[in-house]
Structure 1
């Protein structure tokens, strides 16, 4: 029986997420042997360069997808929000994990601070234009400054006073065990303040399209409900020819026997426009939201390469 080689980025969070998936797969398939193969991606190598400068499409996954295509690994675990709308040729998403907390979160070193009372002029670290533009609607008087690096290094910069706050995903904080309450303090942001990125808090397991053995194995792990929700979100992403660096949000959730899709897209002037649709026709929700945004005045939507956001 073959050893299943599993690709992962080298970061602590990526390895933790990969092991969370493998723990479940080992319980489901105790006879199978899994081996983690760590990779350093382009996005990991260029920590001092803003993502918008590097070019966001696939910078955290391209090298790993190449390894899948070449048969060097059998599958890979990704933060699903890092995956471009179109996967590499021959690759497919074999399974989607249960979803963690989808919210974004402010991290402070002062227990008395919050988004509402953070002193004017305070420096907030985030490398996400999506987060920046949404938070500016609430607090235009704060200074939003780019920050790169892993979760631990970003939190350390808050402790050192380089930033008064940083914005991170609750999912990553929870998976790494950051609860707050000692020397850091967390404020999860409600969805009406900061709508999350496409597929945020879900993990994707990618493999080769023709590898039926791996596909059959992953089918036993796949969370079908979450997979359908993130598929709706990624349809919206695809309509915009966008990726995780674009100021776009989409969150699909079940509602009765249908779905509700909340979306946000920022105009080239930095204005956030929101649209919500719901229904049972999962294949049309993304296009309905897209149409609503255009009707609200977002015409001639730019793609990533042609965008010129402030």
Structure 2
């Protein structure tokens, strides 16, 4: 039995917070073991002057960690769930879907104005095509500005770039203790989150029963079902950073409710549908909803979005 367990993570402030949260939970459950954090930079951390969708999303923030995991240099990797591609490298699995934080997006406005109240042509900062497409569907007059960087960098750019507001995930803001900066929780009927947003994933080797047993108490059944459905929908639609897809699964009264949306880059076309069923059929529900969206025209919208973004 290993007495020293190495936890791999990106070395950003938020990623380290998440990895420490996992470490503290595991340390409390296993006082006889020693847990060590190992931070590292990923490709996405090095390329900060290009939009995410331009550099591809296949393991942009995870590949280096997964290589270390496969090479047995670390024993587990802690990720933001939304960063994990829907297809993992051979031999790796998500060992724990940690209990999800509120999954939605928030508006941080310089003058305390909500999305409805922002002036015509307001400058909104975001790095996400998903957010861009959905808020332009809500307010076509917005001027969306691409911003990259960690959470603190993006908060700083709100002032530096003279933006009216920026959009971020609630979970990151909350985990770093910046709740007072939040102007508005953006309603889900305006903007569905990214698949897995708000959850922490613990990735492990598939053939490592000792580590699997160690992290099993961190796995949250409802979060696993909801996010499995969201990721199945994304996989079926072949979605990622390059395409504007929203997904939200929730388990309520022993039923899994899943909503999905696909939008054009300019927000002029948006399709949305929902499905429900038993949580143990999460994968099938995600695939079925994706098929429905494809039948409503999602395939054409996504193909056009990919072409348009490639030309920009």
State how far apart, in whole Å, the 1-side matches of 2:305 and 2:191 are: 24
Could you tell which deviates more after superposition, 269-278 or 98-107? 269-278
Could you tell which deviates more after superposition, 225-234 or 7-16? 225-234
Aligned to 1:94: 95
Closer/same/farther in 2, CA of residues 105 and 305 from structure 1, 3 Å limit: closer
Residue 35 of structure 2 corresponds to residue 34 of structure 1: yes
Aligned to 1:146: 146
Match of 1:274 among 272, 284, 307: 272
State how far apart, in whole Å, the 2-side matches of 1:177 and 1:81 are: 20
Instruction: Give the deviation of 1:243 after TM superposition.
Output: 2.0
State how far apart, in whole Å, the 2-side matches of 1:224 and 1:134 are: 29
Whether contact under 8 Å (2:262, 2:301) holds in the other structure is: no
TM score, norm. by length of structure 1: 0.93
Gaps of 5+ in 2: none
Aligned Cα RMSD in Å? 1.9
Aligned to 1:192: 189
State how far apart, in whole Å, the 1-side matches of 2:62 and 2:137 are: 32
Q: Which runs of 4+ in 1 moved over 4 A?
A: 267-270, 299-307
Residue 144 of structure 2 corresponds to residue 130 of structure 1: no
Kindly report which structure 2 residues correspond to 1:286-305, keeping only aligned pairs within 5 A, or say none.
286-299=286-299, 302=302
Instruction: Give the deviation of 1:74 after TM superposition.
Output: 0.7
Closer/same/farther in 2, CA of residues 160 and 297 from structure 1, 3 Å limit: closer
Aligned to 1:207: 204
- Length, aligned pairs only: 306
Aligned to 2:175: 175
Match of 2:240 among 238, 243, 268: 243
Closer/same/farther in 2, CA of residues 297 and 173 from structure 1, 3 Å limit: same
Instruction: Give the deviation of 1:186 after TM superposition.
Output: 2.1
TM score, norm. by length of structure 2: 0.93
Instruction: Give the deviation of 1:307 after TM superposition.
Output: 4.3
State how far apart, in whole Å, the 1-side matches of 2:63 and 2:303 are: 20
Aligned to 1:106: 107
Gaps of 5+ in 1: none
